Structure 1
Amino acid sequence: MKHFDDWKKNLDHFFGQDFWGEFEGLMKPSIPQMNIYQYDNELLCIANIPGMNHPKNVDVLVDHSSLIIKGSVDLNHRGGHQLMSEIAVGAFERSIDLPFPVRSDKMEATYKHGLLIIQLYRLISDSTNQKPIKIRHLEDE
C-alpha cells in the first residue's frame, strides 16, 4: 500500500495538481455503506459501521430532507505487520439526500452487531407556510 501512495504522489507532482481527486471517489466505496428502505411514511436507514466501539463515536444529524452520519472507527490492533487493509478505519462522514422531508420530533437510532439503524418519519404538514407580507404604500409616507 505504501508503494501505491508513493506512486500516487509522484503522479500528482508530475501533473502539478491533485491528479487522483476525480477518480478517488470512484475507486473507494462510500463510507459507511447504506441501505435505505421506504415504507409509506417511514424511512428505515441502515448503515454498516463495523468495529465501532460505542455509539457515542458517531453523530447522526437530520436536517429537513438530508441525513448526515459522521464518526470514527478504531480497530485498536497494534503490533504485527498488516497484510491486508479493506476495513475503513478513522474518521468518516456521509451525507445523504432523503426522498422527502422528515419529522424532527420523531426519530430513533439503534446500534447492534455493526449496524446503525435509523428510523425517520415523513413530515406531513396540514398548515401552510404562507405568511402574508404587509405592503407599505410609499405615497402615504
Structure 2
Amino acid sequence: MNQFKDWKTNLDRFFGQDFWGDFDGMMKPAVPAINLYQYDNELLCFVNIPGMNHPKNVDVLVDHSTLTLSGKIEINNRGGHQIKSEIADGSFERSIDLPFPVRHDKVEATYKHGLLVIQLHRYISDSTKQRPITIRHLEDE
C-alpha cells in the first residue's frame, strides 16, 4: 500500500496536483444511466432512477431531437459513516441527443421499480407527406 502512495505522490509532483482530478470526470458514469432503443417510428428510453419518492420529482423535457431529464435521487440514510458510494445521489440533469426529431405532444412516461420508461414518437412534418402537384397547362392561357 505504501508503494502505491509513493507512486501517486511522485506522479503528483511530476504532473501537478490536478492530474487525478482530470481523470475523475472521465471515470464517473453518466447519471442517470439510460438505455435507448429505436424502433421504426418510436424510441423507448429506460432511465435508472433509484430512490425516487414520486415521479413529480423528475422533469422530462422534449425539444425536437433532444430529451432532457432533471431531478433528484435521494437515498435517505441518516447516521453512520458511508464507506462505499456506488449509487449516485443528489441533483442531476442530463440531455440525450435523439436519432430523429420527436413529437413533444405525444410522450408517455411511467415509473415502476426504480425505472422511468419514456416512450417517444417520431415527428413527421407535413412537408414530408406526398401531395399531388397541379400542372398548369400553359397553352390554354
The normalised TM-score by structure 1 is: 0.74
**CA RMSD, Structure 1 to Structure 2 (Å):** 2.0
TM-score (norm 2): 0.74
CA distance, structure 2, for counterparts of residue 62 and residue 20 of structure 1: 36
Deviation at 1:25, TM superposition (A): 3.1
* Residue matched to 2:83: 83
Q: Which residue of 2 aligns with 1:93?
A: 93
Query: Aligned runs of 1:1-141 on 2, under 5 Å?
Result: 15=16, 19-20=19-20, 22-127=22-127
Gaps of 5+ in 2: 1-7, 129-141
Residue ranges of structure 1 left out of the alignment (5+ in a row): 1-6, 129-141
The residue type equivalent to 1:55 in the other structure is: P
* SS in structure 1 of the partner of residue 107 of structure 2: strand
Q: Secondary structure at the match of 1:40?
A: coil
Larger radius of gyration: 2
**Higher percent of residues as strand:** 1
Structure 1 SS opposite 2:116: strand
Q: 1 CA distance for matches of 2:94 and 2:58? A: 11
Residue-by-residue CA offset, 1:52-111 (whole Å, 9 max, x unaligned): 111111111111000111111111100112221111110111111000000111111111
| SS at structure 1 position matched to 2:110 | strand
1:133 corresponding residue in structure 2: none
Aligned-pair identity in percent equals: 72
